[in-house]
Amino acid sequence: MKATNRSKQLLSVAIIGIWVWGCGGSGEGGVSSGGVTNQPAGSGGSDSGGSGGGPASSGGTEVSAATGGVTSGGGTPDSGGTGAIGGSSGTGGSSTPTGGRAVGGETSGGSPATGGSPTPTGGSTMGGATSGGSGTGGTETGGTIGEGCTTGPWAAADPSVAGPFAVATDNEVGPEAGDAEEDGSMPRFTMFRPEDLKQSGLCHPVITWGNGTGATPDMYGALLRHFASHGFVVIASNSTNVSRGDPKPMVAGVDWVLAQNDDPSSTLYQRIDPTNIGATGHSQGAMATSQASGDDHITTSVPIEGAMVQRNLHGPAMLFCGGQDDLVGCDGARSAFDAIDTLPAMYANYLTVDHGSWMSFGNQRSEVETAVTAWMRVHLMADAALRSWFYGASCTLCTDSAWDIDRKNMDQ
């Protein structure tokens, strides 16, 4: 892992974040809330209560799995840090499909990349399972959304490297959503998206992202730009306490993107696939991911380093934790996994990372980030070439000694 040398720094700062958060606010929706600390880049902040936790860390902080509370003590917040960088866009890309004429929704700048995969002709997609389903999700025949884009499976791509799209970042977009920040401002959103949304002719799936306590989307910028380079439209709340507020930011972001898809004046007009929307986030953002996954627009979810039980899922879930995470531990992910009965679910413990060292910086993605990207491609883009990473009797992650994997409803 490229980021393991930063793990002690990330862990110590996250401990302080959870101490301030636990002492500063009230519980809401099963998730503790409160103050904000200065975080170094990529730390993601601390996790909310109810996730389960390991032994107390050196700062005297311990997460209580039973109460969801936080016992405070010791430590001084670190400050400073450098924002995550990288996520350079790749070249190539898929050619325009035969299933529709692109009109409206012009994007600013960017020209289509050349080369790439042959024209898709539609077909079935995975994901989008309704609650109570036991398979890997429903199927959808390729077709058009209005006259703007075509739905259908995406061409295969390597999730460890940047995808075929140049990436645009739109700052301070969308509605105000969540609790006010310390300066009194109301958080809006940052959107990471393909610069040319017409490049492939396909309708783009959506990922809603949640930050850790005290963190902002730029701290996860390398990963979020990586998602966008693969064709996802990522809507990331700017809230530093993303599990709080009414409306909850992660769901409000999805609602805004869907509204933009119907707005002829929007860059996103008729370029979004409303049937394939995923949720993921880190630490407190993982708790918010679990909350958001009860919304019927969310068809798959990946809480990262923190989770809570959600009994109203609408599609497959990957519950990720780090085997060396002494701050939050794996109890929350395990409990969330155990509560799922009929939908595909994966408990995924990457044994050598802690609360923050699963992240990488620069242009090379970590094994964990690669796996999360692959999961989203399988369940939101119907990338059949990556399905064997997660499904089948001898799935790729199942046979990799770096992972401790448990699964439900995923043998086929």
Q: How do residues 10-42 score in pLDDT, each as one tens digit?
A: 433 343 343 333 333 333 333 333 333 333 333
| Whether 343 and 225 share a structural domain | yes
| Whether 170 and 253 share a structural domain | yes
Residue 124 lies in a domain: no
| Whether 268 and 362 share a structural domain | yes
Its pTM stands at 0.70
Distance from C-alpha of 219 to C-alpha of 41, rounded to nearest angstrom: 5
| Whether 187 and 322 share a structural domain | yes
Q: What is the pLDDT along the chain (412 residues), one digit of tens a residue?
A: 334 444 444 433 343 343 333 333 333 333 333 333 333 333 333 333 333 333 333 333 333 333 333 333 333 333 333 333 333 333 333 333 333 333 233 333 333 333 333 333 333 333 333 333 334 443 344 566 656 899 989 999 999 999 999 999 999 999 999 999 999 999 999 999 999 999 999 999 999 999 999 999 999 999 999 999 999 999 999 999 999 999 899 999 999 999 999 999 999 999 999 999 999 999 999 999 999 999 999 999 999 999 999 999 999 999 999 999 999 999 999 999 999 999 999 999 999 999 999 999 888 999 999 999 999 999 999 999 999 999 999 999 999 999 999 999 999 8
Say if CB 327 and CB 12 are below 8 A apart: no
| Whether 193 and 342 share a structural domain | yes
Cis peptide before 249 (omega within 30 of 0): no
Residue 130 lies in a domain: no
Domain interval for residue 289: 143-408
| Whether 271 and 167 share a structural domain | yes
Last residue of a domain, one of 13, 37, 71: 71
Those residues with Cβ within 8 angstroms of residue 322's Cβ, 6 or more apart along the chain or in another chain: 305, 330, 349, 350, 352, 353, 354, 355, 357, 358
Say if CB 174 and CB 253 are below 8 A apart: yes
Q: Kindly report the CATH number assigned to the domain that includes residue 253.
A: 3.40.50.1820
Span between the terminal Cα atoms of the chain, in Å: 31
C-alpha separations of 203 from 124, 153, 231, 250, 353 in Å: 14, 10, 9, 21, 35
